[in-house]
Structure 1
Amino acid sequence: MQGYNVLMIYNKDMDRLLMCTRLKNPYIGLSNLVGGKIEVGETGIEAAYRELLEETGILKEDVRLNHLMDFKYYLQHCYVEVYFGKLKGDVMISGDENELYWSELNKDFFDMSLYAGEGNIGHMIEQVNMSKDILLVDP
């Protein structure tokens, strides 16, 4: 079963979410979160930090990722690990796989004509909103 990750990266003020516009299928032209494959021999968190650096240029030192939830798709033989993080400060983002941008949070992330993931992005954002008090406590 192939593993993937999805990274929900918020700015330090928690009022913007890092997103990308997909440049290839699936979901070409739609907004999505960043992420990618979990490679053989990698833990989920190792893959999350690797993909974050590869796709955005954000360093591990810039954000602490929290494992928020998982989705398992039995018919597609894959699973997705969802990670959440709030940046510790301002960072420069750069990537060439997709067009990166900071989204305001007053959008309808359930709108499947604009956002990838069959409504999952909206669901994940709601889970973060419900759990901010827990997620934002520093260890």
Structure 2
Amino acid sequence: MMQGYNVLMVYSRDMDKLLMCRRLKDPYKGLSNLVGGKIEPGETGVDAAYRELAEETGITREDIALAHVMDFKYYLQNCCVEVYAGRLKRDDIAVAGDENELYWSDLDCNFFDMALYAGEGNIGHMIEQVNMYRDKIFGGVTSQ
């Protein structure tokens, strides 16, 4: 059976920033990445996504609605990565975690730059997909 993982694209309320982390350990030590983690046996993907989000950032189900936007299957590594995207419901949600260094990134970065970002360009691809299907993912609401 494939090991499941998730990666979480957390956008600020006004959709102008993306929550990133600077990895403190391998793989990708020192590179920027999205938050995420392992799906435990018997856990649904979406439950794992909300659990990892709360553990790594303090953001809860009440703070964000996550949409399952895509999966990556890696047959040679026997794993699947589920990708979720969401937008914070309020501006005053505190983000904190000690697993990696968290920060809010502007969206005008070259997320395909493998010297800066983990995932062999996947982060750039995921952001482009979210941009293309933004209304479908976020219900057409980009700011209020």
Q: Same fold (TM over 0.5)?
A: yes
- Percentage identity across paired residues of the two chains: 72
TM-score (norm 2): 0.95
Could you say which residue in structure 2 is the equivalent of 1:134? 136
Q: 1:101 is aligned with what amino acid?
A: Y
Residue 95 of structure 2 is aligned to residue 93 of structure 1: yes
Residue of 106, 109, 123 corresponding to 2:108 = 106
RMSD: 0.8
Q: Report how far residue 66 of structure 1 moved.
A: 0.1
C-alpha distance in 1 between matches for 2:3 and 2:82: 11
Q: Unaligned stretches of 5+ in structure 1?
A: none
TM-score (norm 1): 0.98
Could you say which residue in structure 1 is the equivalent of 2:79? 78
C-alpha distance in 2 between matches for 1:85 and 1:136: 7
- Map Cα deviations across residues 42-67 of structure 1 (whole Å, 9 max, x no partner): 00000000000000000110000000
Matched position secondary structure for 1:80 = strand
Q: Unaligned stretches of 5+ in structure 2?
A: none
Matched position secondary structure for 2:133 = helix
Could you say which residue in structure 1 is the equivalent of 2:36? 35
C-alpha distance in 1 between matches for 2:139 and 2:106: 23
Q: Report how far residue 8 of structure 1 moved.
A: 0.1
C-alpha distance in 1 between matches for 2:135 and 2:21: 27
Give the length in aligned residue pairs. 138
